[in-house]
Amino acid sequence: MTCPICKDARHQTIWTKGRFSQRLTNVVCLNCGLVFVDPPVSLPADFYHEDYRRQYVGQAVLSPDIAVRRQRDAERRWRYLADRLPHLLPSRGLEIGCSSGHFLRVLTDHGWQSFGIDPDRSYTEYGRSHLGLTNLTTGLFTGAEFENEQFGLVAMFHTLEHIPDPVLLLNHVHRRLVNGGILFLEVPDVERPYFGDFDFFFQAAHPFSFSPSSLGNLLLMTGFELIRIDHHQNFMLALARKVSAGQAPVADPKIARDLLRRLKWWRIGYWVLFRWAKAIKRLGARNRL
Ligand SMILES: [Zn+2]
């Protein structure tokens, strides 16, 4: 498969397994440094209606402790946005992959008119019944929704890495933003792959694993100007502004080389940690005899 961003055919395999012991090959494009699953894995059409959360969160409905965590995440993301862009005035905000809508609730409380879409039936129902959100749509964003509408902000948290065609999705987002409108993203960072636990980091639900450079490249080619990238734990937070047209992606073999080197060190670190944990466990067992 050629690279979905730069169309180059040269790539190198990084890892051949994923979460839940799935056979899954992640490769890095040697031209632009994008990490993607090759060959692509197709998920059942209704996977995100219920199965995804059952498999990855352990339950299909939103429990009170998960709701508390979602509320905390929403407030953290709002603080990040308000601190970094203090002059952003409330207008219309859209969240694609909005889950239960906790961020949209916070947005609404700060004077925004909020809209959201998510395929998960029980989570969107929760947002409508518990959070009083009236503009939550249940369904996958296909590109036809909100077609003639304009927003000052589009947010996507842990959504972009799930999308089979992120270029197409960002083209849709671009059309729905007003000029100068803000795109707010949060995605895992392949440069911080859960302390080197690649079997857990890579998963069939993530056709892409972005790094700051590959995310920047994707934004550049879809007509966004990157404002900044920051981190929260292993996750990347990115703010970008809509500009007129996209540009050609940056091709630099050094990006892939640096990433491969970094991943090698993560893997060595993980292996050492794993050996230590095993040795301590063995010592503990011996002391109990
Ligand atoms: Zn590429």
Distance 28 CA to ligand 1 centre (A): 8
CA of 43 to the centre of ligand 1 (A): 24
Please report the pLDDT score of residue 138 as a whole number: 95
Q: Ligand 1 mean position to 98 CA, how many Å?
A: 29
Tens place of pLDDT per residue across the chain (289 aa): 999 999 999 999 999 998 888 899 999 999 999 999 999 888 776 777 767 666 666 666 788 888 999 999 999 999 999 999 999 999 999 999 999 999 999 999 999 999 999 999 999 999 999 999 999 999 999 999 999 999 999 999 999 999 999 999 999 999 999 999 999 999 999 999 888 888 999 998 999 999 999 999 999 999 999 999 999 999 999 999 999 888 888 899 999 999 999 999 999 999 888 778 878 888 877 776 5
How confident is the model at residue 289, as a pLDDT? Answer: 57
- The partner residues of 17 in beta bridges, in order of sequence, read 23
CA dihedral 190, 196, 197, 203 (to 10 degrees): 10
Q: Compute, in angstroms, the gap from residue 34 CA to the centroid of ligand 1.
A: 5
CA of 13 to the centre of ligand 1 (A): 14
Taking the centre of ligand 1 as the mean of its atom positions, its distance from the CA of residue 32, in whole angstroms, is 4
Give the Å distance between the CA of 228 and the centre of ligand 1. Answer: 22
Span from the CA of 174 to the centroid of ligand 1 (angstroms): 22
Quote the ligand 1 centre to 252 CA distance (angstroms).
9
* CA 275 – ligand 1 centroid, Å: 36
Distance 136 CA to ligand 1 centre (A): 35
What pLDDT does residue 55 have?
A: 67
Question: Residue 285's pLDDT is what?
Answer: 74
CA of 60 to the centre of ligand 1 (A): 36
Cα 118 to averaged position of ligand 1 atoms, centre (Å): 29
Q: 17 alpha carbon to ligand 1 midpoint, in Å?
A: 21
- The pair of three-digit structure tokens given for residue 236, joined into one six-digit string: 């990347």
Whole-number pLDDT of residue 274: 79
Three-state secondary structure string covering 183-245:
EEEEEECCCCCHHHCHHHHCCCCCCEECCHHHHHHHHHHCCEEEEEEEEECCEEEEEEEECCC
Domains in the chain (CATH in brackets) are 45-251 (3.40.50.150)
CA 50 / ligand 1 centre spacing (Å): 33
Q: How far is the CA of 265 from the centre of ligand 1 (A)?
A: 23
Q: What's the confidence (pLDDT) of residue 183?
A: 98
